[in-house]
Chain A
Amino acid sequence: MTDTVAQSATAAKAAPDTMAWDSGLRRLMMIYLPLGCFVLILLFPFYWMAITSFKPNAELMNFKQHNPFWISSPTLAHIKHLLFDTAYPRWLWTTMMVAIGSTTLSLIASTLAAYAIERLRFRGSPYVGLGIYLAYLVPPSILFIPLATVVVQFGLFDSPLALILVYPTFLVPFCTWLLIGYFKSIPYELEECALVDGATRLQILRRITLPLAVPGLISAGIFSFTLSWNEFIYALAFIQSGANKTVPVAILTELVTGDVYQWGALMAGSLLGSLPVAIFYSLFVDYYVSSLTGAVKE
């Protein structure tokens, strides 16, 4: 499959041309064919994941008699095993709570911070904004070892609360930056009018700025939810007991046992663990795209 990509990479030069197309065939070869390859390769692992989770074990391990790209006798055995014989529902619940908790926490913190930086305009506010932005560039891989000792010091080791408190370190910078952009787009005159009418600063934030920034808040919220759902390294380092693990960690550490991998159950677990974010994503696609590109453009 990678061969296809490599071969067609040579055609990349001609792709930017959008105006000189005249023949439909050429358009087909230069746009639709490479696009089709991209979509096929980008989606194939998900198709493979989905189809594996409904295949009986006999079909999984026998490509000679069964066409591997299709299921002849679909089964729910893997999903049933996952839901009733393992702590999977518990893991889903923990992950959900951690994601909701850290999202709420970082939304509150970053809304206030963004409002202070963009609207209260104190001396040095650009530097505070820059500092928060720089925090986004510190990767978790550098922090997890000292953070583990901090978490132990606070007595939070093996507790989902540790994750709720730690995830904002990468959510707050992102959300603050996104919300600063949104607050910028709200006319300052509206706040001035309210000030003249005798509203306090907090009333202005609650009654005027926040309602106008709802799209930004939704973008920041769904983004934070996805990022905390997907987080792995902190959850792996700070949580030890099987019951408190989040879905990505639990699948990798609790379901991978011995030398014979339960591919059906593993893939079913991955599929179920991806579904919440995928559904969430499909509901808010436009917010995702705008927040992704908005954050980059800022």
Chain B
Amino acid sequence: MSVTTLSSSSIAVRQPGWIVRLFDYKPFLVVMCLAPAIGLLAVFLTYPLGLGIWLAFTDTTIGRRGVFVGFENFQYLLTDPLWWNAVFYSVVYTGIATFGKFALGFWLALLLNNHFPFKSLLRAIILLPWIVPTVLSALAFWWIYDPQFSIISYLLVDVLHWRSSNVDFLGSPWPARFSLIAANIWRGIPFVAISLLAGLQTISPSLYEAAMLDGASAWQRFRYITFPMMMPILAIVMTFSIIFTFTDFQLVYAITRGGPGNSTHLLATLAFQRGIAGGELGEGAAIAVSMIPFLVFATLFSYFGLARRKWQQGESND
């Protein structure tokens, strides 16, 4: 307290109360300002993260405190075909959905970068799938994928006559897997497109003018100007996208709940099924923890694979 009075006595001409002086003491103010955010994150994020890793090494169930069992949970998972199945589908889901989102999202961003009437209205409409609660749009997809009254089947069978029977979207493993991936791509396109559009708008038109004077074709301009200039923002958006696609839960839980025959379980839905619905907290936590290596790898890969190169900062290429 003595420090407080010393440091602020020169400023405090009107002799304000000690509370005011205390709040003007910088270290105290810093601590007070950071306390709510750091406190919330420590109690509800850092502590659970550590607790989750601890739980993964115990045999805790709902209502019973577990004991440390070492790697038993993980050894069990390695022999569990359902876990391998979930790993396989999580990787496939993330790979195909990320590729689809970025190919289509980049294309949409390039389209939106043109000049045409009602541009801001269109940009607003395009973000809708991203704004609306995922579970609710997933329900709409569930209805679109209905085995009997699917509107897609109706179009293909009764309007276009391309097929003679209804499409079985969710009844067998591979169609169900791809139906979920399509729904995920649908939901992801707006975010990718709008983020990349912001990046596209920062590219100076003079670069394109210079390239055109040099006789570069449209493809060359895309390949050697647009694409390299977009790399930093692509790296960030892709890192986010991969993390949140790999750990996706809502779409799968809402549309198939892991079925048919557990073929569409992602690691997150499997963890929920074992941990919360089945009550095996330890095993569920082990499944959740088993996502971490994949996430770290994907983050490092997309970040260092795509991140800013030296020459983009004006240094020599390497």
Contacts and interface: CB of A to CB of B under 8 A. Distances in A.
B125 A43 contact: yes
Contacts of A106: 40
Contacts of A141: 247-249, 267-268, 271, 288, 291
Contacts of B60: 149
Contacts of B111: 15, 31, 34-35, 38
B interface majority secondary structure: helix
A9 B104 contact: yes
A132 B151 contact: no
B48 A146 contact: yes
B74 interface: no
Size class of the contact patch on chain B: 35 or more
Given A15-B107, A20-B218, A273-B133, A145 B284 contact: yes
Contacts of B3: none
Contact of B41 (A169, A198, A288): A169
B55 A149 contact: yes
Q: Chain B CB within 10 Å — which of A105, A117, A270 has the most?
A: A270
Contacts, number: 313
Contacts of A140: 247, 249
A63 B158 contact: yes
B221 A232 contact: no
B44 A169 contact: yes
Interface string A228-240: 0110110011000
A39 interface: yes
A12 interface: yes
Contacts of A172: 37, 40-41
Contact of B23 (A15, A52, A112, A200): A200
B276 A274 contact: no
B228 to A, nearest CB: 13
Interface stretch (A74-82, A184-192, A210-218, A247-255): A247-255
Contacts of B106: 12
Interface in B137-162: 137, 139-141, 143-144, 146, 149, 151-152, 154-155, 158
A34 B133 CA distance: 26
Q: Which 6 A-B pairs have the closest CB atoms?
A: A293-B198, A17-B218, A116-B33, A113-B37, A141-B268, A146-B52
Interface of A: 1-2, 5, 9, 12-20, 31-32, 34-35, 38-39, 41-43, 45-46, 48-49, 52, 60-61, 63-64, 68, 105-106, 108-110, 112-113, 115-117, 120, 122, 128, 132, 135, 137-150, 165-166, 168-169, 172-173, 176, 198, 200-202, 226, 229-230, 232-233, 236-237, 247-249, 251-252, 263, 266-267, 269-270, 273-274, 277-278, 281-282, 285, 288-289, 292-293, 296-297
10 contacts: A1-B155, A43-B128, A46-B140, A48-B140, A52-B143, A113-B37, A146-B285, A150-B47, A201-B23, A230-B134
